[in-house]
A and B are shown apart, each in its own frame.
Chain A
Amino acid sequence: MPHIPSILTHFSPELILVVGMLLVLTYDLWVRGREGLQANLAIITTVLALVATLVLWVTMPGSHPVFEACGPGAKAGTCRPGAFISDDFTHFFRVLGLLGTLLVLISGQTYMRGRTAFKGEFYALVLSAVLAMNLMAGANDLIVIALAIEFLSITSYILTAFLRHDGLSIEGGLKYFLYGSITSAAMLFGMSYLLGIGGSTSVPALAAIARNPELAQVQGYANIMLPALALVLAGIAFKIALVPFHQWSPDAYQAAPTPVTAFLSVGPKAAGFAVLIRLFVGSFSSLSASWLGTMGLLCLLSMVVGNVAALTQGNVKRMMAYSSIAQAGYMLLGVVSLGGKTLMGLDSVGAVLFFILTYVFTNLGAFAVIIAVEQATGSAELGAYRGLMRRSPLLAVSLVVFFLSLVGVPPLAGFVAKFAVFGAAVTGGQVPLAVVGVLTGVVSVVYYFGVVREMFFGASEEGQPGPIRVGMGTTFVVLVALLMTLVVGLWPEPFITLANNVAHSIAPALQAAGGH
């Protein structure tokens, strides 16, 4: 029997999301035509889930398995470990996912107005996507990982194709779906190998087996471990949009309703990294010889292809797709630098978590501006940004700050994040990857500044379009993101400490390994 009180406490953020999702759906059934309230319900649900997570994090630190499978007669200790685990690491990604979704919901509040009649479904889907992300953050069993990734994928497909009268939207969703089904199949295939080797789908059980030195003696063991982990990695890399599993993302990003694009650029990526780190760093770090090379290659390709392909994009949403591929490459750089010595107190996994934290705020800030510009001009093409400095100084200056942060110019958050990740890479012995990383970072200036050039140097062609009216929600999100970008850049200490502590909670073995 599952332990009900434990589920009610440690699974409460997810339960709140489920209830909220059902409420939004049923509300839509009963009350037709009333504007805005579905969005408000979704926002309230997210805030409640966020509060629940923070309360859990502060009041009950440590790791709490949920859904432990203990039969009625089973003795203590023979329980199967929880399929879901609520620990600091889960909380960290819950908070990031919920905060990110909250910002997307606020900045995109008015975007869906008039674009679709199915608002209830839309916000219910957004809430289920967050639920899926939370499940990924705490998934402690291969089955839950696979189901959570599938869950997130399916909601993402529908959200991408949500504007069903728009051919592009449908095309983007379909491409996303086709790529997604194949990589999911590959991942499940890989997981079946892990099940075969370990005899269990539980991640801690598999990790224990992986750490068993006798395993290395088994004939042909390495030959089967490499493809198994590579296939699992493919499934996760698809969600993160790492090269070469990225081809869906430019099309999906361009075609999706812009708030969905904003959501896709942070939510699934963060959740994907949660699974990646928990699985590969937290559990299979002893097998790093089997996966480090493959991951290094993905990192290299993502940084190079992402930054170079972004150069020629004329659509800002599409450009941001490539930009976020490159950013994911930088995050992965921190993961492949594991096991090395650390720069003072800076852990390599901590660097990745810190990078993701800054990325969520910076990227969502940039997307808040993109949404506002699209609502004002009806376009996300480069030309829509012409003369934005005159039309809305707030949007233009903020977008420059977000882009500079993504480039990694001090004293902004993105700079400290890059410093942390490249610092981890240099001290972790990945100097060639770090050199490629910083040089492709210079390349990224060209495409970000292509937009900046339009905003500041470009004179408007058709007369002087009037100033853009920026809604309350957008202003709020832009200011929050701006504040975070500056505060984390100028005073990163508490955030670095937080990321480091979370990293240590997931990989204590790693910490011990680094110690001697």
Chain B
Amino acid sequence: MAFLDNLPILSLILAWPLVGALAVMFAIKGDEAVRRFSLFWSLVPLVASSLLWWDYARRHGHQGLAYEEYHPWIPSVGINYHLGVDGLSIPLIFLTTLLTVIALWYSSGVIKERVREYFALFLLLQVGMLGVFLALDLFLFYVVFEIGLVPMYFLIGVWGGPRREYAAIKFFLYTLAGSVLMLLALVAVAFNTGSFSLVRGGMSSAFTPAAAVPFTGDLGNPTSMVAMLCCLGFLVAMLIKVPSFPFHTWLPDAHVEAPTAGSVILAGVLLKLGTYGLVRVVIPLFPAAFSALALPLGLLAFTSIVYGALVAMAQWDFKKLIAYSSVNHMGYVTLGLVAATAAVNAKVPAGGEAAMLESINAARVAAMDGAVLQMFTHGIIAAALFLIVGLIYDTRTHVRDFRVLGGGLWRTVPKYGTFLIIACFASLGLPGLAGFVAEFLTFKGAFGIGLAGNGTLLILTALSVLGILFTAAFYLWKPIQMLMLGKQNEKWLGTPDLTRSELAMVGILTFFMFLVGLWPNSLMATIHPASQALVDHVVQVTEDSGHSINNVAPAEAADAAPSP
């Protein structure tokens, strides 16, 4: 598919939904036409991103950055329009295009009011999401990171639930508050490095138009005050978006009030902007500072995992339960990233250093693999779960409370029940389904690092396992036992089961749960080289700056060390 090199394929993918939004706003007449047009229009980026992925595997062998586009944008400040993709972003671009199609498909059945505005905003939202996964320039990254805010604000505020206005403004304020600090950090980074490029050092393939500018000044020391403050500026923006405890309180409100398709996109893609920002911006730019923050970040990850699961357990609202379970699941991503960059102080018998370093590296890459994979799998699973809640709430029962929905729903709507149970099992991490692979890899890597020589991380990881237990408990207890099993609630007798198109929407997502669960290599082939490269970059940069995260010393030398 060599023609992909001659096309600005990434720009086309990015601009396509924008053109669609404008067409919906100004050119298409009639609600039904708008619905149909938007759905078919959104199929094109899905096809394009699938082609892109296939071509990336075939011709680039899953290696390095590809399809880069580079044009000066604001030359007097050194800002460029720079796009490119690699193994970290390609799965997420595919996820975005897939979930947009499903969200629009679902919306075309349930959105009856202000149809034109809804679909135009949704397509606009897609531009922002795709842009984040494509941008390789800090300024551009910030621009697209923010663009999605406004459409989401309106999607929640106009088409949301009873407390939509509160939820919408809360979502907007939280996210904006995080990003404005990122703006200051961004300026400081550009000022200290002389470039807005995100592609520097070992991160890029051969193509480095921005001539990989090294850190200078105070940023030359990656653990300096300036580097730490800049890192924190970016970190807060990302942690709010993830969202990690204690910045998560916007999420339940936004999720519960958003229309179903909004929740699908929010959980499926928007949360990933935060974790993607961590792997694309924070870790590559501030490896040493991020590593130095391993303890507080690990504590936040642990709290998100366990507290998120416990709060989810306490919910009677189906949608709220899934919202809090997202806090829990995104916690695994943070944990994996912390493990992949945490410092290790290992004592080994003489001669065992090389083997030890190798096993540490393997553990780091496993944790990184797990974290990146978890972004994709949570995207699929959480989207499916929100869709499932929407299917019962929007058009069937108009109730989400487990106590009112009562039991025996599986017998009333067997197809619906089956998919619900599969999605719940996928979410709680049943082997054979997608969630398990990602969580297993994350814990494998985190335990590996912990055992190699990071006691704090070991304890945090061990405690985080509790999260898996609690997750299993609330899924089995509430959606499965209370809703599906038990005495049939006669109120819902005669509720229609899934229609053919609803079956197809849920079916597609379920297919991916099985695909990743049974054949993880379908994704890992793409993700693994990229996370390997990122880990290598972190190890290299920290070592060069004298803050190595792999401290492997012979045991004898350590014993001799105390004599001055």
Contacts and interface: CB of A to CB of B under 8 A. Distances in A.
A423 B194 CA distance: 13
Given A343-B77, A345-B76, A410-B146, A426 B184 contact: yes
A147 interface: no
Contact of B191 (A343, A408, A415, A453): A343
A441 interface: yes
A404 interface: yes
A124 interface: no
Contact of A497 (B76, B157, B164, B181): B76
A409 B74 contact: no
Interface string A264-307: 00000000000000000000000000000000000000000000
A497 B165 CA distance: 41
Contact of A442 (B143, B154, B176): B176
Interface string B112-123: 000001000000
A493 B184 contact: no
Nearest to B175: A442
B184 A344 contact: no
A500 B190 contact: no
Contact of A500 (B76, B181, B184): B76
Interface in A393-418: 400, 404, 407-411, 415-416, 418
A416 B164 CA distance: 30
A441 B191 contact: no
Interface in A487-504: 492-493, 496-497, 500
Interface in A430-455: 431, 434-435, 438-439, 441-442, 445-446, 449, 453
B136 interface: no
A493 B73 contact: yes
21 contacts: A341-B191, A344-B78, A407-B176, A409-B146, A419-B187, A422-B183, A422-B184, A422-B187, A423-B187, A426-B191, A427-B187, A435-B181, A445-B169, A445-B176, A446-B173, A449-B153, A449-B172, A453-B165, A453-B169, A493-B75, A496-B74
Given A415-B146, A500-B76, 18 more contacts: A343-B77, A345-B76, A345-B77, A389-B117, A409-B146, A409-B176, A410-B143, A422-B184, A423-B77, A426-B191, A427-B188, A435-B184, A438-B180, A438-B181, A442-B173, A442-B176, A449-B172, A453-B165
Given A410-B143, A427-B187, A496 B158 contact: no
A431 B147 contact: no
B349 to A, nearest CB: 50
Contact of A457 (B144, B149, B157, B194): B157
Nearest to A340: B191
Nearest to B76: A345
B188 A439 contact: no
Interface in B34-82: 73-78
Contact of A344 (B76, B165, B173): B76
Contacts of A179: none
B463 interface: no
A456 interface: yes
Nearest to A420: B77
A506 B165 CA distance: 48
Interface residues of B, number: 35
A502 B504 CA distance: 61
B150 interface: yes
B170 to A, nearest CB: 11
A411 B148 CA distance: 11
A453 B173 contact: no
A407 B176 CA distance: 10
B142 interface: yes
Tell which of B74, B75, B181 has the most Cβ of chain A within 10 Å: B74
Contacts of A419: 139, 183, 187
A427 B193 CA distance: 12
A346 B190 CA distance: 12
Given A343-B191, A422-B187, A457-B157, A492 B74 contact: yes
Overall SS of chain B's interface: helix
Nearest to B143: A410
Given A422-B183, A438-B184, A439-B180, A449 B76 contact: no
A346 B158 CA distance: 40
A431 B176 contact: no
Contacts of A426: 184, 187-188, 191
B169 A434 contact: no
Interface string B128-168: 00000000000100111011011001100110000011000
B177 interface: yes
Contacts of B172: 445, 449
A431 B157 CA distance: 35
Contacts of B165: 453, 457
A439 to B, nearest CB: 7
A457 B181 contact: no
A346 B139 CA distance: 15
Given A493-B75, A497-B76, A441 B180 contact: yes
Tell which of B139, B158, B177, B180 has the most Cβ of chain A within 10 Å: B180
Interface of B: 73-78, 117, 139, 142-144, 146-147, 149-150, 153-154, 157-158, 164-165, 169, 172-173, 176-177, 180-181, 183-184, 187-188, 190-191, 194
A412 B544 CA distance: 40
Contacts of B76: 344-346, 493, 496-497, 500
B414 to A, nearest CB: 39
B77 A409 contact: no
B509 to A, nearest CB: 31
Contacts of A344: 76-78, 190, 194
A453 B146 contact: no
Contacts of B187: 343, 419, 422-423, 426-427
B190 A343 contact: yes
A343 B187 CA distance: 8
Contact of B149 (A341, A409, A438): A409
A102 B11 CA distance: 38
A426 B183 CA distance: 10
Given A439-B177, A456-B154, A346 B77 contact: yes
A445 B173 contact: yes
A236 B176 CA distance: 33
Nearest to B72: A493
Given A434-B184, A438-B181, A457-B157, A446 B169 contact: yes
A223 B262 CA distance: 62
A415 B181 CA distance: 14
B143 A411 contact: yes
A58 to B, nearest CB: 21
Nearest to A390: B114
Given A449-B169, A449-B172, A442 B180 contact: yes
A409 B173 CA distance: 12
10 closest Cβ contacts across the A-B interface? Answer: A438-B180, A345-B76, A410-B143, A423-B187, A344-B78, A426-B187, A442-B177, A344-B77, A427-B191, A410-B146
A497 B77 CA distance: 10
A265 to B, nearest CB: 24
Nearest to A341: B191
A311 to B, nearest CB: 12
A442 B169 CA distance: 11
A416 B74 CA distance: 10
Contacts of B75: 493
A412 B184 CA distance: 18
Contacts of B190: 343-344
Contacts of B183: 418-419, 422, 438
Contacts of A456: 154, 157-158
Tell which of B142, B172, B191 has the most Cβ of chain A within 10 Å: B191
A460 to B, nearest CB: 14
A335 B169 CA distance: 32
Interface in A324-367: 341, 343-346
Nearest to A427: B191
Contacts of A407: 176
Tell which of B75, B143, B188 has the most Cβ of chain A within 10 Å: B143
